[in-house]
Chains A and B, each alone.
Chain A
Amino acid sequence: MQFIKTRFNYLFNSTKGLILVAIAMVGIVTAVWGMLSGPMAEMGVREIVVKALGMKIVQAEREGRIVILYHSIAMAIIAIETYMVTGLIKMKAFFKTAINATITFGYILTMVFGMGFAYFGRNWAFHGLYITGLSLIFFAGLMLIVALWPWDKEYFITDKEYAHTKSGLDLERTAFFATAVTTVISSLFGAVPGSYYGHGFETFLAENIIRIPEKTVMEFSVIGHLHIMLALIGIMITLIIGRWLNFKGILHKFAMPLMILGTIVLNLGVWGVVTPLEPVAHMVIYVGATPSMFAALLLLIWDWNKLIKDGTANIQKPTFGQKIGALLRDPLKFGPTWQMLFMNFTTSGIGIFMAIKLDEIFRVWPAREERIELTGHWHVLSAIIATIILLYFGDMNGFKGKLRQWYGWSIIIFSDIAFGAVTVFEMKRLFVTEAAQQPLVNGLMYAIDFGLGMLLVILAAMMIYRLVDLFKNKGRWIEELDHELAQEVDK
């Protein structure tokens, strides 16, 4: 009994244990439900999985199932980010415990009963528990806002290395706070239409109505919600990575105000979509996204500069090759910001190109082609965020030496192969006709499946390693029990 109690205590009462559980949950859902679509469906794997697990697949409920699947995964990711925030940012112990406990209970309810409702028969009690889970996560968000309150004098700072106001208001903490506040408000833009379900609002996937000129307020609300929530998850992970790497100095002082401004303006733009200001909302969104992305660029510049400086500290006049070597020396520290840069080739850049050439190119193609671009675009963005979390988690695991190199570079290379191939797949109509596309599609599919498959293998290997570790009396989990993320912030 003591054996179980101590492990349970680690898994559900320590930051790293909680993160481990959430990653495992996402990994399981991704591995199982990934077998229901794409090449797995083509190969007949879907039928086997559906039968083996006793899933009840009703054709008319597909869109609803997918909405619940996305929410289940997203809530676990939000929980992971919340654990990271409570582990990195100073707050009262009570809040940390209350937030972590509430969000853990919330995302597990959401995931277990949401997926149970969606895929294993429409049990409405399950649906109620799924909504309860989402409500708990919302409540945890409210507590996080209170816990992060930046105007509490206790959290004022005077260190000149970090962005703060003259009075001492910590601008990094304020950026975390702004992101938390806007996330909680933005969640309502999904919750309100959801509460009208069956009473003037029906399930839809945004990519399927993209070309319909007249959309209802509820539809605009959902479209705004899904866009901003993913953007906010991206902003939060950028802040988290910055804190972990101990982002500071002059660039920090520029970046944090930009991050706060960008987050607020971006949200105002998205919220404006459901108001009469809808025609100008997109312009406000662009205005808001620019400072946020520029702040992320400043983090990247700072991080790469630091990696190079640290790696060449013992060399009087480092050559270009030595600088590159230093930059690439630690994939877990280089990887997160590299993935942020890579995102510009696979999502941001593509998004801007699509926006510029929308009527000229993309709206000439059938809607189903445009759907491929849209879904590919945000699947890649979500997956890039997941890889950044995995890279940080690798560091939390204390990977050193060759293991650190193999783990880090494998995640970077395999994911970038997959994401690069997805990007080419999205854009394939620019250079190949439907009739002639099959060899290219096959090649890209091999690359995508290989990259994503290898990522899942790495994740599975890590989970097995952690599972085995849990059976050890003096395993790594003992060290992690009382070890907080704030203690591991770069000096």
Chain B
Amino acid sequence: MKRLILTLCLCAALLASCSPVDLNAPIPAFDTGIDPNTWAQVPAGEFHHGQFDEIASTEAYEIMVTDVTAAQYADFLNTALADGSVKMDGEKIVGFYPGDKFHGIKHEEKIEAGDWLFIPLDDPSQRIKFDGSTFSVQSGYENHPMTNVTWFGAWGYCKYFETRLPTELEWEKAARGTDERPFPWGDEIQRGNANFYSSRDPFEDMSTFGSRTSPVGFYNGQTYDGFQTVDSASPYGLYDMAGNVWQWTGDVYEGMHYRFLRGGSKDTYDMDLRIWVRNNATPTYFSPGVGFRCVRD
């Protein structure tokens, strides 16, 4: 009898592991009050860079206060498709990229001039929808960060608006300011600071679909249906510089085709939310945990 119960328990656990995820499960909608069209000014000068606080410097620039939202990206696609800046290629949106210089280093892959994937439309977790003529956003995700976007898609968006992706140094300075803090808001991390793995925010359910993105600027000190957030803006007033989604940066390094991502995401433990942590992926990579923001000089 005991063996039977044990076997049944194991079978139940195995079946639960194979159950499909409802990617369109209802998501709570909150207005964070943070305008995704605002930009923060970052002055020229030195700052502490990396885990070991090396001194680096940048020119002055402006950076988006939030990640680019799904609604902003849908608007971009509507205008860019109309004026021919992007194209449909089956279930993909593609756009032109002028290519990178190839150095033939081990593991390096050629990135040639041509049309590259911006976003896939057939990915089940894609929140941008296309009805044949217009792009729109799945209800509830309008003010969430744009995800499932490749580096080319992020690069193309910024370029379209005559901006660019931040360099890693620019990203880091915007997140850290001029002191040596490990997180944009200070020295320690609590669950109310950011959307990270198992942070128990209103958008996650670890027993079913797991973690999901939160609206941009969500962690601003407001209380949402009883969930108290801590105001977690960076010294320059940027939100979500730790957690929610990894953010593409613009550097193209000699001898490697990988593009670097910063900030950690809803899917990573708090250690990956530390400002100096780097991630990278091929520029065609897309995921529900990857987004971006732009800078302008």
Given known A42-B197, A62-B271, A211-B107, contact A366–B288 (CB-CB < 8 A): no
10 shortest interchain CB distances as A-B pairs? A443-B17, A438-B210, A59-B182, A435-B125, A366-B281, A42-B198, A436-B21, A213-B255, A367-B280, A439-B19
CB distance from B196 to the nearest CB of A (A): 10
Complex CA gap A212/B107 in Å reads 10
Q: Does A442 contact B (CB under 8 A)?
A: yes
Contact B21 A438 (CB under 8 A): yes
Contact A363 B107 (CB under 8 A): yes
Q: Which of A349-374 contact B (CB under 8 A)?
A: 358-359, 363-368
Complex CA gap A368/B180 in Å reads 24
Main secondary structure of the interface of A (DSSP, over half): helix
Of the listed stretches B66-74, B201-209, B224-232, chain A binds B201-209
Contact A211 B256 (CB under 8 A): yes
Contact B17 A442 (CB under 8 A): yes
User: Which residues of chain A come closer than 8 Å to B270, judged between CB atoms?
Assistant: 41
Is the interface on chain A under 10, 10 to 19, 20 to 34, or 35 or more residues? Answer: 35 or more
Contact B16 A443 (CB under 8 A): yes
User: What are 20 residue pairs bridging A and B, where the CB atoms are less than 8 Å apart in the complex?
Assistant: A41-B270, A42-B197, A59-B188, A60-B182, A62-B271, A213-B108, A359-B107, A364-B281, A366-B279, A366-B287, A366-B290, A433-B124, A435-B124, A435-B125, A436-B20, A436-B23, A439-B19, A439-B21, A442-B207, A443-B13
Contact B210 A364 (CB under 8 A): no
Partner of B206, one of A41, A208, A438: A438
Partner of B272, one of A359, A368, A435, A442: A368
Q: Does B183 contact A (CB under 8 A)?
A: yes
User: Which residues of chain B come closer than 8 Å to A368, judged between CB atoms?
Assistant: 268, 272, 279
CB distance from A151 to the nearest CB of B (A): 42
Q: Does B14 contact A (CB under 8 A)?
A: yes
Contact A439 B183 (CB under 8 A): no
Contact B51 A211 (CB under 8 A): no
Contact A439 B279 (CB under 8 A): no
Complex CA gap A436/B287 in Å reads 12
User: Which residues of chain B come closer than 8 Å to A213, judged between CB atoms?
Assistant: 105-108, 255-256
CB distance from A230 to the nearest CB of B (A): 23
User: Which residues of chain B come closer than 8 Å to A63, judged between CB atoms?
Assistant: 51
Contact with B along A52-69 (1 / 0, CB 8 A): 000000011011000000
Partner of B23, one of A211, A358, A435, A447: A435
Q: Does B39 contact A (CB under 8 A)?
A: no
Q: Does B156 contact A (CB under 8 A)?
A: no
Contact with B along A359-396 (1 / 0, CB 8 A): 10001111110000000000000000000000000000
Contact with B along A199-239 (1 / 0, CB 8 A): 00010000010011110000000000000000000000000
Given known A213-B256, A434-B288, contact A442–B206 (CB-CB < 8 A): yes
Complex CA gap A446/B197 in Å reads 17
CB distance from B227 to the nearest CB of A (A): 16
Q: Which of A435-463 contact B (CB under 8 A)?
A: 435-444, 446-447
Contact B16 A439 (CB under 8 A): yes
Contact A211 B255 (CB under 8 A): no
CB distance from A364 to the nearest CB of B (A): 5
User: Which residues of chain B come closer than 8 Å to A37, judged between CB atoms?
Assistant: 269
User: Which residues of chain B come closer than 8 Å to A447, judged between CB atoms?
Assistant: 13
Q: Does B274 contact A (CB under 8 A)?
A: yes
- Nearest residue, chain B, Cβ from A198: B52
Complex CA gap A60/B179 in Å reads 13
Complex CA gap A214/B105 in Å reads 10
- Nearest residue, chain B, Cβ from A208: B278
CB distance from B102 to the nearest CB of A (A): 13
CB distance from B23 to the nearest CB of A (A): 6
Complex CA gap A441/B270 in Å reads 18
Complex CA gap A363/B17 in Å reads 27
Q: Which of A41-81 contact B (CB under 8 A)?
A: 41-42, 59-60, 62-63
Q: Does B258 contact A (CB under 8 A)?
A: yes
Given known A366-B281, A439-B16, contact A433–B125 (CB-CB < 8 A): yes
Known A211-B280, A438-B210; 12 more pairs at CB < 8 Å: A59-B188, A202-B51, A363-B282, A366-B246, A367-B280, A368-B268, A434-B125, A434-B287, A435-B21, A438-B206, A438-B208, A439-B21
Contact with B along A68-97 (1 / 0, CB 8 A): 000000000000000000000000000000
User: Which residues of chain A come closer than 8 Å to B272, judged between CB atoms?
Assistant: 368
Q: Does B18 contact A (CB under 8 A)?
A: yes
CB distance from A301 to the nearest CB of B (A): 33
Q: Which of B68-91 contact A (CB under 8 A)?
A: none
User: Which residues of chain B come closer than 8 Å to A364, judged between CB atoms?
Assistant: 281-282, 285
The listed residue with most A CB atoms (<10 A of its CB), out of B255, B261, B278, is B278
Given known A211-B107, A444-B17, contact A366–B280 (CB-CB < 8 A): yes
Complex CA gap A366/B246 in Å reads 11
User: Which residues of chain B come closer than 8 Å to A363, judged between CB atoms?
Assistant: 107, 282
User: Which residues of chain B come closer than 8 Å to A436, judged between CB atoms?
Assistant: 20-21, 23, 124
- Nearest residue, chain B, Cβ from A371: B279
Contact with B along A476-491 (1 / 0, CB 8 A): 0000000000000000
